Structure 1
Amino acid sequence: MKTTLDELQAFTTVVDTGSITAAAEQLAQTASGVSRALSRLEDKLDVTLLRRTTRRLELTEEGEAFLAQARRILAQVEEAEEQMALRRQNPTGRLRVNAASPFMLHVLVPLVSGFRERFPAIELELHSSEQIIDLIEHRTDVAIRIGTLRDSTLHARPLGSSRVRVLASPAYLAAQGRPESVDALRQHSLLGFTQPEVLNDWPLRHALGDSLSIEPAIRSSSGETLRQLALSGAGITCLSDFMTQADRASGSLVQLLTDDTVEVRQPIHAVYYRNTALASRIACFLDYVTECLKQQEWAMRSA
């Protein structure tokens, strides 16, 4: 038979108040009920937690060790209950969200109207940045980060993932020809990122491995700028599905070297500091975004 929360509560309250009678009063129970709960707990654990004398109760060595664990468990349960209570309330106030401009434009902006209809009392403040920001310095509540997270003291919640592909416009291919092999990319104008350099490692299988480090002819800090350059016929680029799915569906951008492409998916996380006052707003926003992303084709593990 497993230990119950009532038994843990009885044990910790007796320790805190110093007597079974005082604990019973605080818990609105009878003294005999609290005493039976303690006895059941000791029987289940097969240890003596408290030495009972006519004058006082004293923790045993086993009781000291178990008390710390009991407090931790009760604190976690209390926190979980508080979080659920916050979600049931009507959240209000300002929520500052930061994301790279492509994710902001192609993913978050289309969701704003629906979010506002569901949570009209939350005031959204949307900021775009191509670099990783310090949340406190920029007074940001939630940041969306794409790619592998660095070691951080921030709380992170996974939202999904998005595949990356090598793409070009029909206009560019008509003018410059279609590369039929990975090696042929050297003869083409390649569009890449200024930083981080890892974004210029394209998921292409070749003689030396499954990743090709390219030397861009044109660089940009923004994926949206690279998308616009590719659409205008300026060259070949490698971008994530969340910003190019509509382009591929319309034929404005065409995937290249499909047979040589390794499936690589960029993880997408929301990061934030724990803040009780913001917990309800953050939870509502992230729950809504997660719900919507589950309906997005690019977020599914499909070709």
Structure 2
Amino acid sequence: MKTTLEELQAFVAVVESGSLTAAAERLGQTVSGTSRALARLEKKLDTTLLRRTTRRTELTEEGQGFLLRTRAILASIEEAEEHLAARRQQPAGRLRVNAATPFMLHAVVPLVPAFRRAYPQITLELDTDELNIDLLARRTDVAIRIGPLRDSTLHARPLCTSRVRVLASPAYLEARGKPRSVQDLERHTLLGFTQPESLNRWPLRGAHGDEWPVAPALTASSGETLRQLALQGAGVVCLSDFMTAADRARGDLVQVLARETVDVRQSISAVYYRNTQLAARIACFLDFLQERLG
């Protein structure tokens, strides 16, 4: 049957206004348009809802029963719209966020208490993964991705950039000596990523150009694992500032070959599926991150 909201509104407006002319004015429509909507409704229901005379309009017995249900339907729709409007003012619901372990630990987790205070009705679900996930398969609302983006089906919002540096612990440098040139690194234990291979091209300037491909003696899939190894004095590593800034501030990790290091900054973006209207709980989270990370 597929009765439309427009037809139901026309029916109620005519009953409550007492005439087609008054109903049309109330709805902001033409008299003919309101009349056609009412006629379509009666045809779909295969019944007469209103008896119309030159003087007045009155409900049939079927129309009286249908009016009660129609008012209930319209009231439910209005309530739902008000509920959504309230959620836009005070976002609520479950928000599933995915990020690589290092970014989650060092960038997102420190911001969670302030976000929870600002939006107490949002339930956060934090998930970590070292690879780019399928948002739909993992039922994820927002994923934080580091580096170039390749998935055109997703909408992306830039959050910040983070510089990449070559680092080692003071204990390692005391034991093995501080490298004075890029070539000196060949005599050191290098820590690198199992994948992607692009992370094993360090931003070091030399005869080879502005990138130096390394052959790691020890690899890991997670930057956090490499950070912990570097802190334990296991070798020289190349990591992003977002996970090592506090280590450098405390002196637990020291930058090496600073003059030879090219200023390379990783782009960090939030990605989510393209929607005509972004859910309030997602929008406020993205705004929150962008303001504090940007």
TM over 0.5: yes
Tell me how far apart the structure 1 counterparts of residues 292 and 266 of structure 2 sit (CA, whole Å): 18
**Would the aligned equivalents of 1:158 and 1:269 in 2 still touch at CA under 8 Å?**
yes
Equivalent residue letter for 2:102: P
Q: Aligned-pair distance for 1:25? A: 5.6
Identity %, equivalent residues: 69
What letter is aligned with 1:95? L
Work out whether residues 142 and 282 of structure 2, in 8 Å CA contact, stay in contact via their aligned partners in 1: yes
- 1:18-74 deviations in whole A, cap 9, x for unaligned? xxx9xx96984999xxxxxxxxxxxxxxxxxxxxxxxxxxxxxxxxxxxxxxxxxxx
Alpha-carbon contact 2:153-2:274 (below 8 Å) kept: no
Equivalent residue runs for 1:193-272 within 5 Å = 193-272=193-272
Post-superposition Cα deviations, 1:186-211, rounded to whole Å, max 9, x if no partner, equal 01000000000000010000102100
Residues in 2 aligned to 1:121 and 1:249: alpha-carbon distance in whole angstroms: 36
- CA change 1:186–1:26 in 2 (3 A) is farther
Q: How many angstroms apart in 2 are the aligned matches of 1:293 and 1:238?
A: 21
Residue 90 of structure 1 and its aligned partner are, at CA, apart by 1.2
1:176-191 equivalences under 5 Å are 176-191=176-191
Gaps of 5+ in 1: 1-20, 32-84, 295-303
Asked whether 1:279 is paired with 2:249, we answer no
CA RMSD of aligned residues (A): 2.3
In structure 2, do the counterparts of structure 1 residues 26 and 166 end up closer, same or farther at CA, with 3 Å as the change threshold? farther
- The 5 Å alignment of 1:19-38 reads 28=28
Find the residue that maps to 2:288 and give its secondary structure: helix
Letter in 2 for 1:135: L
Write out aligned runs for 1:24-103 (5 A): 28=28, 88-103=88-103
CA distance in 1, matches of 2:87, 2:122: 13
Paired residues of 2:122 and 2:281 also in contact (CA < 8 A): yes
Once the two structures are TM-superposed, the CA of residue 181 in structure 1 deviates from its matched residue by: 0.2
Distance in 2 (CA, whole Å) between partners of 1:132 and 1:168 is 28
Task: Look up the equivalent residue of 2:156 and give its one-letter code.
Answer: A
| Bigger shift: residues 250-259 or 144-153 | 144-153
Quick check: 1:120 aligned with 2:120? yes
Which residue of structure 1 aligns with residue 52 of structure 2?
none
Structure 2 CA distance, aligned partners of 1:129 and 1:152?
20
SS at match of 1:156: strand
Kept in 2, the 8 Å contact 1:87–1:284? The answer is: no
Structure ID, larger Rg: 2
Q: Tell me the SS of whatever aligns to 2:107.
A: helix
Letter of the 2:199 partner, please give it.
Answer: L
TM-score by length of 2: 0.71
Q: Distance in 2 between matches of 1:254 and 1:279?
A: 43
Q: Which residue of 1 aligns with 2:148?
A: 148
Q: Give, in angstroms, the shift of residue 274 of structure 1.
A: 3.0
- String of CA shifts for 1:147-192, please: whole Å, max 9, x gaps: 1111421000000100000000000000011110001100100000
Aligned length in residues: 220
Q: Which moved more, 1:273-282 or 1:171-180?
A: 273-282
Residues 260/87 of structure 1: CA separation in 2 closer, same or farther (3 Å cut)? farther
State the Cα distance separating 1:99 from its structure 2 match.
0.2
Q: Aligned partners of 1:259, 1:107: CA distance in 2, in Å? A: 27
Shift of 1:91: 1.0
The CA deviation string for residues 241-267 of structure 1, in whole angstroms up to 9 with x for no partner, is 000001111110000001100000000
Aligned to 2:191, the other structure's residue is in SS state strand
Are the equivalent residues in 1 in contact too, given 2:165–2:239 (CA < 8 A)? yes
